[in-house]
Amino acid sequence: MTRRHAPSASAMRCLAGGLLAIMLPSLTAAAPPERTAMDARFQWDLTPMYADADAWGAHYRQLEALVSAWAGRKGSAGQSAASLLETLRLRDQLNIQIEKLSAFAMMRRDEDMRQAAPQALYQRAQTLAVQFEESSAWFQPELLAIPEERIRSWLREPGLEIYSHYFDDLWRTRKHVLTPREEELLAMAGKATEAAPDAFGLLSNTELRWRTVKNPAGEDQLITPPAFLQAMYSPDRRYRRDAFAALHDSYLDARRTLAATLAGAMHRDWFYAKARRYPTSLDRALDAENLPASVYHGLVRTVNEHRHLLHRFVALKQKALRLDDEVHFYDLYVDLVRGPERQYAFEEARQMVIEGIAPFGPEYAGVIRRAFDSQWIDVFENQGKRGGAYNMGTYLSPPYVLLNYKGTFNDVSTLAHELGHAAQSWFARENQPPAYAGYPMFTAEVASTAAEIVFKQSILDRTAAPGARAFLIHQMLEDMRQTVFRQTQFAEFDLAAHTMAERGDPMTADALMKVGREIYARYYGPDFVMDPGLEVECLRVPHYYRSYYVYRYANSYCAAAAIARRILRQEPGARDAWMQFLKTGNSRYAIDMLRDAGADMTTPRPIEEAMGLFKQWLDELDRLLADEALAPANTEGQAAENQR
């Protein structure tokens, strides 16, 4: 689509659908029921969008005609203020209507991915979206060709005034727009420059040879990336160690090819940066959202200044797990608290989330209640349903949430997280015109993470039992280890790899893994054993193919933590500023929105505050785990006692 900012559906790029809600395929559970046999009250109600497939088809045909009309508007935008307004409004309409068409088809498809009919609807919607995009190539160049002064005077007219931020954003990047012939050449290069990411995707999804190990039940288990992640949570250390070696050996087999595809992606980014007259790839990536370089370098610097806290966390894990010898990567994910995890019925989860988000105030809580009462949520797993969790908010529908709820605390947190996205979708669409109904990518995970932090903190405040407190605090520390420390570690590598490409350094597997290894060792400290092969991780992170992506996760968490803290302390104005943030959509720049909400990301303060929170939780966990009764069993090659 031609939108300059991601539509709200971008919320699907959650780190893993909730901070720690890793999709753990249940290896032992019974097969889920067919969708038709389940209670419809726990399924989303999409009828407010389209009554049936016929209604969808009628809308599709209407939009086909509208796309044709759009192509015919070429050359008319600059004729008059009225003509400009008409063109902009038609584009907005096409954006939101095609979004509705696609979103419905996607949600129907995800209900049961085995069904062919919704797949076909989705493909038709995609085709129409591509047609719209292809027939829009003239749009921005035509706007840029209109003298700025003329547009400025037009922007004072009724209806057009709302577009001033849109034009500010467009003009801001004018110097990076090239001549028509150069733009044409860049467009022609597109397919060739995507070959490296495509090759990476094919290799890692289909052609890598995964190895088999014995699971704790003595059965053969193929160690694919999802199975690996599940194994990392097993209390059986032998299994974790074998799964670690199996996965990393599979990647090591292909390390030279992986290094070549990664180098290809880094050279792609450098090519476009140079072509568009940016000094570095990072400058180009940040400029897309008008972000200062300090959001990147400041994050890396401030997190590095607090590495000792991560070292302490690793040492605490070693002590709590009674690992007398040493601590490895495969010891980092295990629960530190003994005992089986309790389960939460969905009705209980609903109550916990509504109480947990109460600090955001009645207006916010009203929308969350509505999500439960109006069937915006597709709760349980069924045969063929898409895994994971996401929010799908569009301008012309309520924000829907897909879950695969199984009743763990993680599942309850994921519900709070996705409802955080849903609330932002809702407030943006209620308060903004179609042009600004999404939100800037840099803020995409802030609303969801703030909801998750406030929820967990509220639960923690009401939890007195030491075991339950230790469990919760360990979860929150893991959120931060994986979201702030780990993603900043990745951000450092991302920058280092881009810099190698910009300098023309050789990007062999050995050279890249050496860099990855140095960063790893620095983050995890002296007590951590760098197992052979661990450094191949730097060659398997798909986000490195997305032109600087990972730093957003770490920044979002810290921004959300800073905002959550103000709200939980009931600082004057904090709640109102937060509601204002949610209602802003993308009508302002991300950095301004966050500053006004209480997180000035141009300074180290939000990162420092998040580190302060980490230390506070670490201190308490240290005290709690000193009690022997809470210590986990460290099984080695024994049957798991709290396998989940």
Q: In this complex, which beta carbon is closest to Zn ion, that of residue 136 or of residue 448? A: 448
Which stretch, 9-17, 257-265, 341-349, 532-540, contacts Zn ion (CB under 5 A)? 9-17
The residue among 448 and 547 lying less far from Zn ion, judged by its C-beta, is: 448
- Annotated catalytic, 636? no
> Closest distance between Zn ion and the C-beta of residue 405, in Å?
16
- Confirm or reject binding of residue 382 to Zn ion (CB under 5 A): no
How far is C-alpha 258 from the chain's CA centre? Answer: 24
Residue with nearest beta carbon to Zn ion: 14
Closest distance to Zn ion from the beta carbon of 225 (Å)? 20
Q: Pick between residue 215 and residue 586 the one whose CB is nearest to Zn ion.
A: 586
Residue 509, sorted as left (phi over 0), alpha (psi -120 to 50) or beta, turns out to be alpha
Q: What SS3 state is found at 15? A: coil
Spatial CB neighbours of 300, under 8 Å, sequence gap ≥ 6: 488, 491, 492, 495
Nearer to Zn ion by C-beta: 432 or 448?
448
Interface mask (CB under 5 A) for Zn ion, residues 86-125, using x and -? ----------------------------------------
Considering 381, 418, 452, 535, which one is annotated as catalytic?
Answer: 418
Given a contact cutoff of 8 angstroms between Cβ atoms, the answer to whether 594 and 443 are in contact is yes
Q: Looking at 8-16, 118-126, 178-186, 505-513, which segment touches Zn ion (CB under 5 A)?
A: 8-16
Least distance between Zn ion and beta carbon 19 (Å): 8
410 belongs to the binding site for Zn ion (CB under 5 A):
no
In angstroms, what is the minimal distance from the CB of 297 to Zn ion? 25
Q: How far is the CB of 447 from Zn ion (least distance, A)?
A: 9
Strand partners, 214: 220
Among positions 443-472, residues that touch Zn ion (CB under 5 A) are: 448
14 is an interface residue for Zn ion by CB under 5 A: yes
CB 244 within 8 A of CB 529: no
Interacting stretch for Zn ion, rule CB under 5 A, among 14-22, 231-239, 345-353, 622-630? 14-22
Q: Tell me which residues in 307-336 interact with Zn ion (CB under 5 A).
A: none
Q: What letter does residue 635 receive in the DSSP assignment?
A: B
CB of 442 to Zn ion, least distance (A): 14
If the CB atoms of residues 318 and 448 are measured against Zn ion, the closer one turns out to be: 448
Residues in CB range of 328: below 8 A, 6 or more apart: 241, 244, 528, 529, 531
Cα-to-chain-centroid distance, residue 220: 33
Site size for Zn ion (CB under 5 A): 2
C-beta of 22: minimal distance to Zn ion in Å? 13
Give, as one character, the DSSP assignment of residue 38.
S
Residue among 267, 287, 292, 301 nearest 497 (CA): 267
The region of 11-19, 322-330, 461-469, 630-638 touching Zn ion under the rule CB under 5 A is 11-19
State both tokens at 197: 């990411």
Written as six digits, the tokens of 518 are 């140095």
- Give whichever of 448 and 586 is closer to Zn ion, judged by the CB atom: 448
CB 331 within 8 A of CB 528: no
CA 557 – CA 553 distance, rounded (Å): 6
- SS3 for 494-561, per residue? HHHHHHHHHHCCCCCHHHHHHHHHHHHHHHHCCCECCCCCHHHHHHCCHHHHCCCCCHHHHHHHHHHH
Please say which residue, 14 or 625, places its beta carbon nearer to Zn ion. Answer: 14
Tell me which residues touch Zn ion (CB under 5 A). 14, 448
Catalytic residues: 418
